[in-house]
């Protein structure tokens, strides 16, 4: 069976490897670097910068832990960029090795459909070749969405890709967009000494996140020196001497802020315009490729995964979708479950979430109850001198099934996997409570939060 995968990102390369494992003859087409946005311009490089910025903050606060740094602590931006590139190249090389080991044929070039069973691949030198397939998986990813703001083309106005490759740390930056991308970059550049202002159109930051947690994180970011404007619409960007001036409206007021750089981070859109999908009859819905829960389009044998479907634009979702698609191609019947997908925001403190928020539980008319355990009462958090935040658990009132878990605090992005597994297994509070949690760990707070739902937490006063 001939399987073609278009795009070598976290969805595409995982699908290619799994397809080869199951016996398919796999060809992967990638126009740029293996690893896609995630490895090259997204998840990985941003977390490298974030880790260094967090380390800088820890060094500055080390005195309370008994560590004194006598010399001035400086940021070596070129070295930070070098390390980022080293980490990225190491992971990209690893993906290449895995594909080679699994006998996946990799072609560097741009893919375009020529009907429902053929693809034309155009290579860098201009030559092309036609590839026939039995099944194809489209994993073409996404690109930054740039809204029609006057002045968006000015020098100094950048997107997330540009923010990762700046020559130096700017003295000031305005970030348009208070979603995950915008808030993570705000956290990074603020920690590195840049004055950051975030302008968000909605009345809150991080729209999908449990509202209580997003509001607490917002106040923490403001306390750290980040200015955040909500309910605002940017109207134009213009040059003003050596800076850029961003004009925006708040209620009936007209405001403006100057900065060296303006980062537009209002979301991403599907990267499908050059695929010639018109020749296939594949249905496009609101700019994204329509797929069912088997990851198949309306055309038999043509599947799509990852950002280009607009389902849930996360790297780990794309990888899972890739496996679901391949296994269905190879004769199994697998469906994608989005209810138990964890989401992470790499800020200080970290934020992670899975399942229903309180707002969603109310909208669905679910009779629920909530337990919260503040990390100030957790021994490991105290040891780390990192006690901001809490774990919040939402459970069904009647059967006490866990419906949602929301974490704000250290290692939240690691802890959330336990919560995702709990939801996947339809676990009850009792099953989390009777699971022995190691001590001292931040993970103990998951058990305490479960106990707190019924006001039975051990290590805090229940109210």
The catalytically annotated residue of 101, 406, 437, 439 is: 439
301 Rama sector, left if φ>0, alpha if ψ -120 to 50, beta otherwise: left
Pairing of strands 2-6, 25-30: parallel
- CA separation, residue 106 to residues 5, 26, 95, 255, 408 (Å): 10, 9, 11, 51, 41
Is 179 labelled as part of a ligand binding site?
Answer: yes
In angstroms, rounded to a whole number, what is the distance separating the alpha carbons of residues 206 and 193? 23
184 is in an annotated binding site: yes
Task: Please state, in angstroms and rounded to a whole number, the distance separating the CA atoms of residues 186 and 194.
Answer: 9
Q: Is 178 marked as binding a ligand? A: yes
Would you call 107 exposed, middle or buried from its count of C-beta atoms within 10 A (0-12, 13-18, 19+)?
Answer: middle
Query: Which structure tokens are listed for 312?
Result: 């849930």
Q: Is 313 annotated as a binding residue?
A: yes
Report yes or no: 169 and 192 within 8 Å, Cβ to Cβ: yes
Residue 32, classified by CB atoms within 10 Å of its CB into exposed (0-12), middle (13-18) or buried (19+), is: middle
Q: Is 394 annotated as a binding residue?
A: no
Largest CA distance in the chain: 71
6-26 in b/e form (b: 16+ CB < 10 A) is: bbbbbbbbbbbbbbbebebeb
Look up 51 and say whether it is catalytic. Answer: no
181 is in an annotated binding site: yes
For residue 222, say whether it is annotated as part of any ligand binding site: no
367 is in an annotated binding site: no
Q: Is 47 marked as a binding-site residue?
A: yes
CB within 8 Å of 319: residues ≥ 6 apart = 10, 11, 14
Closest CA to 372 of 401, 392, 346: 392
Q: Is 182 annotated as a binding residue?
A: yes
314 is in an annotated binding site: yes
Q: How far is CA 196 from CA 60, 133, 215, 225, 348, in A?
A: 20, 49, 18, 8, 15
Query: Could you tell me which residues are beta bridge partners of residue 131?
Result: 119
Distance CA 441, CA 383 (A): 10
Which residues share a beta bridge with 374? 390
- Answer whether 189's CB lies under 8 Å from 265's CB: no
180 labelled binding-site residue: yes
Token pair of 310 as six digits = 């607009």
173 is in an annotated binding site: no
Annotated binding site for FAD: 47, 307, 313-316
Catalytically active residues are 439
Question: Which residues sit in the known binding site?
Answer: 47, 177-184, 200, 267, 307, 313-316
Annotated binding-site positions for NAD(+): 177-184, 200, 267
């Amino acid at each position: 069976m001939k399987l073609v995968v278009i795009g070598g990102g976290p969805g595409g390369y995982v699908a290619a490897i799994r397809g080869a494992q199951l016996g398919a003859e796999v060809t992967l087409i990638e126009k740029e670097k293996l690893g896609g946005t995630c490895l090259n311009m997204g998840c990985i490089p941003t977390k490298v910068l974030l880790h260094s910025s967090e380390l800088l903050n820890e060094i500055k606060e080390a005195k309370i832990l008994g560590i004194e740094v006598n010399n001035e602590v400086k940021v070596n931006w070129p070295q930070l960029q070098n390390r980022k590139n080293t980490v990225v190249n190491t992971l990209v090389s690893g993906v290449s090795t895995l594909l080679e080991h699994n006998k996946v044929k990799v072609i560097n070039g741009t893919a375009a459909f020529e009907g429902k069973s053929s693809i034309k691949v155009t290579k860098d030198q201009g030559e092309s070749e036609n590839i026939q397939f039995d099944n194809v998986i489209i994993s073409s990813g996404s690109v930054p969405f740039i809204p029609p703001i006057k002045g968006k083309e000015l020098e100094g106005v950048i997107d997330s890709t540009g923010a990762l490759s700046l020559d130096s740390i700017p003295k000031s930056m305005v970030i348009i967009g208070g979603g995950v991308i915008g808030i993570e970059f705000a956290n990074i550049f603020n920690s590195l000494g840049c004055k950051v202002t975030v302008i968000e159109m909605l009345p809150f930051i991080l729209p999908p996140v449990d509202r209580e947690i997003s509001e607490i994180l917002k106040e923490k970011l403001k306390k750290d020196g980040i200015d955040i404007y909500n309910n605002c619409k940017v109207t134009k960007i213009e040059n003003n001497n050596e800076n850029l001036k961003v004009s925006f409206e708040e209620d009936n007021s007209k405001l403006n802020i100057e900065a060296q750089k303006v980062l537009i981070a209002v979301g991403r859109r599907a990267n499908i315009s050059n695929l010639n999908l018109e020749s296939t009859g594949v249905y496009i819905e609101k700019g994204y490729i329509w797929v069912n829960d088997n990851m198949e389009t309306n055309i038999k044998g043509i599947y799509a995964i990852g950002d280009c479907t607009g389902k849930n634009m996360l790297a780990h979702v794309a990888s899972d979708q890739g496996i679901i698609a391949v296994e269905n191609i190879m004769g199994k019947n697998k469906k994608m479950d989005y209810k138990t997908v964890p989401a992470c925001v790499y800020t200080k403190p970290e934020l992670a979430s899975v399942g229903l928020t309180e707002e969603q539980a109310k909208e669905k008319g679910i009779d629920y109850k909530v337990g919260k355990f503040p990390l100030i009462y957790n021994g490991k958090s105290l040891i780390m001198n990192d006690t901001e935040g809490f774990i919040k658990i939402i459970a069904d009132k009647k059967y006490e099934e866990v419906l949602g878990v929301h974490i704000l605090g250290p290692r939240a992005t690691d802890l959330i996997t336990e919560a995702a597994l709990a939801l996947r297994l339809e676990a009850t509070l009792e099953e989390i409570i009777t699971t022995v949690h190691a001590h001292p760990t931040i993970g103990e707070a998951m058990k305490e939060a479960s106990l707190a739902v019924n006001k039975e937490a051990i290590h805090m006063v229940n109210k």
